[in-house]
Amino acid sequence: MAATSIKSIISLGEPLIELSATDEGTLDTVSSFITGFGGDASNFAVAARRAGGDVSMLTQIGQDPFGDAFLNMWAKEGIDTSLVKRSAAGPTGIYFISRNSGSHYFTYYRSGSAASLMTPDLLPEVSIREARLLHVTGVTQGISDSACETSFAAMDIARQAGTLISYDPNYRPALWPMEKAVSVIEESVSRADIIFPSMEETEMLFGSIEPEAAVRKYLELGAGTVVLKLGTHGALLASGDGIKRIPAMRVNAVDASGAGDTFAGSFAAAYMENRPPEWCARFAVTAAGLSTTGFGCVTPIPARKDILSHMAPGPD
Ligand SMILES: O=C(O)C(=O)C[C@H](O)[C@H](O)CO
């Protein structure tokens, strides 16, 4: 399924090779890892593609075997790679996932990575203008100042062209100081047409707050549609006609890594089909739920037919 032309969805951000511990414990105690693919923007791209979307990845990767592996994986998935640049100045980043008592922890080796060296002049202006949706994340903004500037420049181009902007704060405290994160995330929310914050990160960023109050806060900041991810409690959706609760799918979860990206990617793919927002949200909670039934970020992302066959009936 090789793809060559610019797609309706462009996902901007850093792919990371993932080494996921097979046993519980800290990194100094575990001894084996499953290799896989991660990085929130790439997870989003795979989820959107498997959900039926047309997707281009926009990033910079190293001239190294991990960069080759990503190009192969994206091509196999049918994700367009014509906007992916390669740089000899930095490697493709990697991270480890360790687990303890149902929680997972990321340890990054991404400082100075090729993606962190992205600058606004690398942006494919025409492609962003022609796309229908640009997806941006807080991780991309946290990895370096130049990547952060690149994300805002991309949003500026999208805004001027009428390309929709979707935004996932994906706040990772290890990447950047809280104060800077709050101001960049608030500014990004104000520019976005659709946002996918999680309740967990919302509380980290803004302190204790009830879910409905959090949705209202994001609307006040200027977001168009707010889809607040509540993990095992589903999601809250605000898309112009009040706040609706979308129940979660019941699953035997083993690993929630990448579930939020799967949520956002599948929502975006459904949105591009002009489905009603509530349908998109039910589709997304189902996809995210299914993605937690396997280990790692990308391998368990479900295909469209599996999402549809597990989706709960709804009013739309
Ligand atoms: O945490 C990050 O920066 C990553 O992109 C790694 C993971 O793939 C991502 O967090 C999952 O959402």
**Ligand 1 in contact with 16 (CB < 6 A)?**
yes
**Would you state the pLDDT for residue 2?**
39
49 lines ligand 1 (CB under 6 A): no
| Active-site residue flag, 145 | no
- pTM for the full model? 0.95
Q: What is the pLDDT of residues 179-225, one digit of tens each?
A: 999 999 999 999 999 999 999 999 999 999 999 999 999 999 999 99
- Average pLDDT rounded to a whole number, residues 5-20: 89
Q: What is the assigned CATH class of domain 9-14+40-86+115-305?
A: alpha beta
- Return the H-helix or E-strand segment holding 95: strand 93-100
* Contact by Cβ (8 Å): 73, 38: no
**Distance from residue 103's CA to the centre of ligand 1 (Å):** 14
Contact 227, 195 (CB under 8 A): yes
pLDDT digits (tens, 9 = 90+) for 228-278: 999 999 999 999 889 999 999 999 988 888 999 999 999 999 999 999 999
**What are residue 247's phi and psi, to 5 degrees?**
-65, 155
- Alpha-carbon span 31 to 292, nearest angstrom: 23
pLDDT tens per residue across span 277-293: 999 999 999 999 999 99
Active-site residue, from 54, 80, 255, 261: 261
Asked if residue 168 has its Cβ within 6 Å of ligand 1, the reply is no
Domain boundaries defined on the chain: 9-14+40-86+115-305
What's the ipTM?
Answer: 0.95
SS3 62: strand
Does residue 6 surpass a pLDDT of 70? Answer: no
Task: Please report the pLDDT score of residue 7 as a whole number.
Answer: 63
Cα(99) to ligand 1 centroid in Å equals 15
Buried residues in 91-121 as b, exposed as e (16+ CB within 10 A): bbbbbbbbbeeeeeeeebebeebbbbbbebe
Residue 258 CB–ligand 1 contact under 6 Å: yes
DSSP code of 122?
A: G
